[in-house]
């Protein structure tokens, strides 16, 4: 059965679709069979990213490693579960990008996930999604609604088939955030991770490069197609490598060329 990686966050602007696409391409580049599902039929960010990638492949008359992908337009969670069952027998990894809101399809996929990735930006606004912070001590008062939702989903998964959900909070760094605030966010995250049960790994920095990649559907693994490559590209690609490594996905060992 495929290892199911679900990218979920009820707050938009966290880099969810960007990290989902880069993870999918990284796995495919490493020689694994990958399928991706976009559950947000309105935004379709993941699907549009791959459509742009295919168009660039045609325009440049080159070969770009692109996973299988599809968008599910149904609003019935049973349709999502049926599609997961089908694809899980055909690929090594199944990646699902969920809508940036509380959604029945997202809940259905979270319950089925093996690895649940929640990207958040280095801010207390994003942290509030999973934990309420004391305004003076910057300590965690209590887990938020979303953390409780994930807790229930993990219990449901355990009752269903005895499986576990590895919840990973992906900490994307905002370059304009001052150091003291970053330390406070880090401290609150570490405290909450012990109470709720998730892992914190480094994510991606807020770089112009990521926004520029989308129209062409390219990723940081497509260095040879990016034109002029600077130090920022190399640093960003290293971040990506560290992020994929931090997900601790099943063997064989994932290695990215270049």
Percent of the chain past pLDDT 70, that is, above it, reads: 95
C-beta contacts of 210-213 below 8 A and 24+ residues apart: 210/15, 210/18, 210/236
Q: What is the pLDDT of residues 50-71, one digit of tens each?
A: 999 999 999 999 999 999 999 9
Question: In the predicted model, what is the mean pLDDT of the chain?
Answer: 90
The pLDDT assigned to 174 comes to 64
Residue 257 pLDDT exceeds 50: no
Q: CA nearest 199: which of 78, 143, 116, 123?
A: 116
Q: What is the pLDDT of residues 15-55, one digit of tens each?
A: 899 999 999 999 999 999 999 999 999 999 999 999 999 99
Percent of the chain past pLDDT 90, that is, above it, reads: 69
Residue 254 pLDDT exceeds 50: no
Residue 255 pLDDT exceeds 50: no
Q: Are 178 and 122 in contact (CB under 8 A)?
A: no
Residue 258 pLDDT exceeds 60: no
CB atoms inside a 10 Å sphere around CB 80: 23
Q: What are phi and psi of 221, to 5 degrees?
A: -90, -5
How many whole angstroms separate alpha carbon 115 and alpha carbon 183?
26
pTM of the shown model: 0.92
How many whole angstroms separate alpha carbon 149 and alpha carbon 101?
13
What lies within 8 Å, CB to CB, of 148 at 6+ separation is: none
Q: What is the pLDDT of residues 103-144, one digit of tens each?
A: 999 999 999 999 999 999 888 888 999 999 998 888 899 999
How many whole angstroms separate alpha carbon 220 and alpha carbon 22?
8
Hey, what domains does the chain have and what are their CATH numbers? Answer: 3-246 (3.40.50.300)
pLDDT confidence bin for 176, thresholds 50/70/90: low
pLDDT confidence bin for 253, thresholds 50/70/90: very low
Structure-model confidence comparison of residues 182 and 257, the more confident one: 182
pLDDT confidence bin for 156, thresholds 50/70/90: very high
How many whole angstroms separate alpha carbon 113 and alpha carbon 249?
13
Environment class of 167 (CB within 10 Å of its CB; exposed 0-12, middle 13-18, buried 19+): buried
């Amino acid at each position: 059965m495929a290892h199911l990686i679900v990218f979920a966050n009820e707050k938009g602007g966290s880099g969810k679709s960007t990290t989902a696409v880069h993870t999918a391409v990284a796995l495919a580049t490493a020689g694994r069979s990958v399928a991706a599902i976009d559950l947000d039929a309105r935004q379709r960010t993941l699907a549009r990213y791959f459509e742009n990638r295919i168009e660039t492949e045609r325009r440049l008359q080159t070969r770009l490693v692109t996973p299988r992908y599809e968008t599910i337009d149904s609003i019935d969670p049973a349709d999502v579960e049926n599609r997961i069952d089908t694809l899980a027998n055909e690929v090594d990894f199944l990646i699902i990008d969920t809508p940036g809101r509380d959604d029945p399809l997202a809940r259905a996929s979270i319950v089925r996930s093996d690895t649940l990735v929640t990207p958040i930006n280095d801010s207390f606004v994003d942290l509030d999604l999973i934990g309420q912070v004391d305004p003076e001590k910057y300590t965690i008062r209590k887990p938020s609604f979303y953390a409780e939702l994930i807790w229930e989903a993990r219990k449901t998964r355990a009752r269903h088939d005895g499986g576990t959900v590895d919840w990973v909070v992906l900490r994307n760094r905002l370059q304009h955030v001052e150091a003291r605030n970053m330390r406070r966010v880090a401290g609150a995250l570490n405290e909450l991770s012990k109470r709720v049960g998730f892992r914190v790994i480094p994510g991606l920095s807020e770089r112009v490069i990521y926004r520029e990649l989308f129209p062409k559907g390219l990723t940081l693994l497509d260095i040879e197609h990016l034109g002029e490559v600077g130090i920022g590209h190399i640093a960003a690609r290293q971040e990506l490598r560290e992020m994929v490594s931090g997900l601790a996905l099943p063997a064989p060992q994932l290695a990215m060329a270049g």
